[in-house]
């Protein structure tokens, strides 16, 4: 159905040039949501759920609904509030829905890569939302028909479609096909009558289960439950598949058991501070990271200043533990986000100034500890340091709430290849010199893991340690620097 128009099964609106035959893209870390809410307008619930997951992806947003007879999908490039309005939500009828917010590299910001994906299989049609990245797409591409697939998410949808066309129910198809997938995949999938949530066996990306009246909700983060008044039930376990129908929730474990490896950057950066993972509130964990960093790398300064927003709780923890005043010396231009209006070249040259502004009244004449969550490429941090210096800070001591980011991610965080990572192959002193800071200290890995409050062996730390929990294509362009 064209939203706002008549009703025909599974029609989706195309608003931009479909990509030609494109390579499978990687580099997505997204928000997924699903709701089964008898008697409710599921699209409206999904809209607000996606709103709470907007931080996980700003490239595109989409919702698929089912009224029991047909699936309707609407998706487009843009923020959730830009993509949907009352008319579009009203046309997405039914009491079951899945939704998606997508983060991607600039080069693959095309409508065709937005989600949910959809396959018209008649009465067995499916829609799918994915967070994560597969690491074996080339193998899967030989196993399944990849001709219509421009992303790993499309390829998974195709694999499921082939199993369903061979006669399997949706849960059976997932249980059969998903063990073929390797890497990171948290999925919300539905057909006309069944909603399924699943996490890969290592649980790289999160998923939680909530109850809403007579219905059920699945979401990347607990904040998406809170916004619609759903009650948190539990986290979906790594390797678990929850099947939600009018009969309730069934739990299945279709994979061989594996050691959980949640992405530690969910704690450092990705997740909202008010979300809970491994039973721990993220804000509290980030405060503890700052406390440990203060213990590990104390320096005599006048004020502690966060880089908004993910550096804020860590800076609060640092300041409290060090007994140094906490000052908001940088202000974020909150609504710059993804404007879709391209800045002029001269504006682009302003770099970080488009996003943050420094306050000379707070920073002038002071020795500053500047706290940020991480440094990946470093160019933004360098500009930021310069901006704080120009605002009058007499000393800048940079403190980072995670260890040096030295290795590329294959599981859903687009950080480019090794040659683009500032810390790859460099000593901390070299990095400090490049950033032009008076001192630089990173939180050590043990301290980071302890600060999460969760079991230390339950995390992927590959980008920080070089220890990958799965096979990864070591010949990939991402490893342009030699492993060292």
Q: Could you tell me the smallest distance in angstroms from the CB atom of residue 109 to ligand SF4? A: 21
In the window 458-477, what residues touch ligand SF4 (CB under 6 A)? 460-463
Sign of CA dihedral 401, 403, 404, 405: negative
From the list 263, 327, 356, 422, which residue makes contact with ligand SF4 (rule: CB under 6 A)?
A: 263
User: Within 10 A of 111 (CB to CB), how many other CB atoms are there?
Assistant: 18
Query: Under a CB-based contact definition with an 8 Å cutoff, are residues 75 and 83 in contact?
Result: yes
Piece of 98-106, 283-291, 330-338, 454-462 that binds ligand SF4 (CB under 6 A): 454-462
Residue 37 or 463 with smaller CB distance to ligand SF4: 463
Piece of 105-113, 155-163, 261-269, 391-399 that binds ligand SF4 (CB under 6 A): 261-269
Q: Could you tell me the smallest distance in angstroms from the CB atom of residue 268 to ligand SF4? A: 9
Question: Would strands 195-199 and 186-190 be described as parallel, antiparallel, or unpaired?
Answer: antiparallel
From the list 224, 409, 440, 472, which residue makes contact with ligand SF4 (rule: CB under 6 A)?
A: 409
From the list 46, 413, 424, 449, which residue makes contact with ligand SF4 (rule: CB under 6 A)?
A: 413
From the list 118, 216, 265, 267, which residue makes contact with ligand SF4 (rule: CB under 6 A)?
A: 265
Rg (CA), the chain: 23
Question: Would strands 208-212 and 231-235 be described as parallel, antiparallel, or unpaired?
Answer: antiparallel
Residue 206 or 215 with smaller CB distance to ligand SF4: 206
Residue 366 or 406 with smaller CB distance to ligand SF4: 406
Piece of 60-68, 107-115, 257-265, 276-284 that binds ligand SF4 (CB under 6 A): 257-265
Angle (CA) 193-199-201 rounded to 5° is 135
Q: Could you tell me the smallest distance in angstroms from the CB atom of residue 415 to ligand SF4? A: 7
- In the three-class reduction of DSSP (H, G, I as helix; E, B as strand; rest coil), residue 56 is classed as helix
- In the three-class reduction of DSSP (H, G, I as helix; E, B as strand; rest coil), residue 304 is classed as strand
Question: Cα separation of 37 and 59, whole Å?
Answer: 27
Q: Could you tell me the smallest distance in angstroms from the CB atom of residue 468 to ligand SF4? A: 7
- DSSP calls for 312-335: HHHHHHHHHHHT--B---EEE-TT
Question: Cα separation of 288 and 284, whole Å?
Answer: 6
Residue 159 or 409 with smaller CB distance to ligand SF4: 409
Piece of 212-220, 338-346, 382-390, 408-416 that binds ligand SF4 (CB under 6 A): 408-416
Query: Under a CB-based contact definition with an 8 Å cutoff, are residues 352 and 383 in contact?
Result: yes
Residue 42 or 184 with smaller CB distance to ligand SF4: 184
Q: Could you tell me the smallest distance in angstroms from the CB atom of residue 228 to ligand SF4? A: 28
Residue 220 or 461 with smaller CB distance to ligand SF4: 461
Question: Cα separation of 103 and 121, whole Å?
Answer: 28
Give the residue from 464, 399, 391, 471 showing the smallest Cα distance to 435: 399
Question: Cα separation of 423 and 403, whole Å?
Answer: 10
Active site residues: 30
In the window 124-183, what residues touch ligand SF4 (CB under 6 A)? none
Q: Could you tell me the smallest distance in angstroms from the CB atom of residue 31 to ligand SF4? A: 16
Calculate the CA 387 to chain-centre distance: 29
Q: Could you tell me the smallest distance in angstroms from the CB atom of residue 423 to ligand SF4? A: 13
Asked if 264 touches ligand SF4 (CB under 6 A), the answer is yes
Piece of 146-154, 277-285, 409-417, 447-455 that binds ligand SF4 (CB under 6 A): 409-417
Residue 144 or 270 with smaller CB distance to ligand SF4: 270
Residue 352 or 463 with smaller CB distance to ligand SF4: 463
Question: Cα separation of 234 and 212, whole Å?
Answer: 13
Q: Could you tell me the smallest distance in angstroms from the CB atom of residue 38 to ligand SF4? A: 36
Asked if 289 touches ligand SF4 (CB under 6 A), the answer is no
From the list 33, 204, 278, 442, which residue makes contact with ligand SF4 (rule: CB under 6 A)?
A: 204
Residue 393 or 462 with smaller CB distance to ligand SF4: 462
Q: Could you tell me the smallest distance in angstroms from the CB atom of residue 280 to ligand SF4? A: 16
- DSSP calls for 333-379: -TT-S--SSPPPHHHHTTGGGGTEEE-HHHHTT-EEEEEES--SS-H
User: Within 10 A of 141 (CB to CB), how many other CB atoms are there?
Assistant: 16
The secondary element (H helix, E strand) that includes residue 158 is: helix 152-165
Query: Under a CB-based contact definition with an 8 Å cutoff, are residues 206 and 271 in contact?
Result: yes
Asked if 37 touches ligand SF4 (CB under 6 A), the answer is no
Site residues (vs ligand SF4, CB under 6 A): 204, 263-265, 409, 411, 413, 460-463
């Amino acid at each position: 159905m064209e939203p706002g128009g008549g009703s025909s099964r599974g029609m989706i609106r195309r608003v931009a040039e479909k990509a030609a035959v494109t390579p499978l893209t990687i580099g997505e870390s997204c928000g997924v949501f699903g709701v089964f809410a008898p008697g409710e307008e599921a699209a409206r619930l999904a809209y607000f759920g996606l709103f709470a997951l907007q931080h996980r992806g700003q490239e595109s947003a989409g919702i698929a609904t089912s009224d029991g007879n047909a699936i309707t999908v609407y998706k487009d490039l843009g923020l959730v509030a830009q993509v949907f309005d009352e008319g579009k939500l009203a046309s997405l009828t039914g009491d079951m829905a899945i939704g998606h917010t997508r983060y991607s590299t600039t080069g693959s910001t095309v409508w065709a890569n937005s989600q949910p994906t959809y396959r018209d299989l008649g009465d067995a049609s499916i829609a799918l939302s994915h967070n994560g990245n597969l690491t074996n797409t080339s193998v899967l591409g030989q196993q399944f028909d990849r001709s219509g697939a421009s992303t790993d998410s499309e390829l998974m949808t195709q694999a499921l479609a082939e199993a369903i066309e061979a006669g399997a129910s949706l849960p059976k198809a997932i249980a059969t096909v998903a063990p073929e997938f390797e890497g990171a995949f948290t999925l919300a999938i539905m057909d006309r009558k069944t909603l399924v949530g699943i996490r890969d066996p290592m649980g790289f990306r999160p998923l939680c289960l909530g109850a809403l009246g007579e219905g059920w909700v699945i979401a990347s983060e607990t904040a998406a439950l809170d916004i619609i008044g759903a009650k948190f039930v539990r986290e979906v376990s790594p390797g678990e598949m929850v099947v939600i129908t009018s009969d309730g929730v069934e739990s299945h474990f279709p994979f061989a058991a594996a050691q959980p490896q949640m992405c530690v950057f969910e704690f450092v950066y990705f997740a909202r501070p008010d979300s809970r993972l491994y039973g721990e509130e993220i804000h509290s964990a980030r405060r503890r990271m700052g406390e440990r960093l203060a213990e590990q790398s104390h320096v005599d300064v006048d004020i502690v200043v966060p880089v908004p927003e993910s550096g804020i709780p860590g800076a609060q923890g640092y300041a409290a533990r060090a007994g140094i005043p906490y000052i908001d010396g940088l202000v974020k231009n909150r609504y710059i986000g993804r404007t879709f209006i391209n800045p002029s070249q001269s504006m682009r040259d302003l770099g970080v100034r488009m996003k943050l502004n420094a306050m000379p009244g707070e920073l002038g004449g002071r020795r500053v500890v500047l706290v940020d969550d991480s440094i990946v490429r470093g160019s933004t941090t360098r500009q930021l340091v310069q901006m704080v210096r120009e605002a009058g800070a007499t000393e800048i001591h940079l403190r980072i709430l995670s260890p040096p980011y030295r290795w590329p991610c294959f599981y859903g965080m687009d950080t480019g290849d090794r040659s683009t990572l500032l810390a790859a192959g460099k000593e901390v002193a070299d990095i400090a010199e490049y950033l032009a800071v008076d001192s630089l200290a990173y939180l050590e890995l043990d301290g980071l893991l302890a600060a999460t409050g969760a079991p230390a062996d339950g995390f992927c730390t590959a980008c920080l340690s070089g220890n990958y929990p799965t096979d990864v294509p070591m010949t990939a362009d991402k490893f342009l620097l030699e492993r060292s």
